[in-house]
Amino acid sequence: MPGVKGFISFEGIEGAGKSTQSKLLAEYLRPRGHTVITTVEPGGTGIGQQIRALLLEPGNHMDPLTELLLYYASRAQHAREVIYPALLKNTVVITDRFTDSTTAYQGYARGLDLSIIDALNEIVVPDLKPFLTFLLDLDVEEGLRRNRHARKEDRFELETIDFHNRVRQGFLQISAEEPERVKVIDASRNADEVSKHIIKVLEESWR
């Protein structure tokens, strides 16, 4: 399935800078005549924010299948309340995480069958795939260090280094399978350098 032009996602491990780069890209595009919204998964809607709180609460010990289904419940609401309506108005949608995060975290890291995730994608968002995905790649320990410095702590922050390495390798596997869509960006550099690289790749892809 080809990606939906105008739909851009940011992916990567914890602390890679997805939120920062989503904001910087929106700030670059708006003065150039684009209507842009930024959003986030899980979340993006009132219901999604409630599901996000459940998913990220450190005290919630959750079965992987429960976790997976909660992500898709949030995504179903997000797609229908926010993403589809915006794209129909030719608004550029920039999301901090989408289906690739589910594949990396719940598939490669949690060990759930990838065919289950593919089937849920077909049910929940059968015709919705980013035109371009920026995979912000970073050493796992550096990403976690950044988040500790920012005093960010949630249920995923408390996972083992091995878990986060499986997430990272999952993302890299996705990028190897879909190199035209998923562009790997070195996120170890400062935010301005990363942003310039992202803009260059985007402009080349939109030609």
Identify the structural domains of the chain with CATH numbers, from first to last: 4-205 (3.40.50.300)
Which pLDDT score is estimated for 150?
A: 57
Q: How far apart are CA 84 and CA 206, in angstroms?
A: 20
Which pLDDT score is estimated for 177?
A: 98
Which pLDDT score is estimated for 152?
A: 66
Which pLDDT score is estimated for 4?
A: 78
Q: In sequence order, what are the beta bridge partners of 69?
A: none
Average model confidence (pLDDT) for the chain? 93
- The average pLDDT across 150-169 equals 84
Q: In sequence order, what are the beta bridge partners of 7?
A: 93
Higher pLDDT, residue 167 or 60: 167
Q: Does 87 have pLDDT greater than 60? A: yes
Cite the DSSP H helix spans in the chain: 18-29, 46-56, 64-78, 84-88, 99-102, 114-124, 140-149, 161-177, 191-205
- The average pLDDT across 135-155 equals 80
Q: Does 182 have pLDDT greater than 90? A: yes
Give the global pTM: 0.93
Which pLDDT score is estimated for 1?
A: 43
Q: What share of the chain is helix, strand, coil (3-state, %, to 5)?
A: 55, 15, 30
Confidence of residue 151 (pLDDT cuts 50, 70, 90): low
- Cβ(8)–Cβ(93) below 8 Å: yes
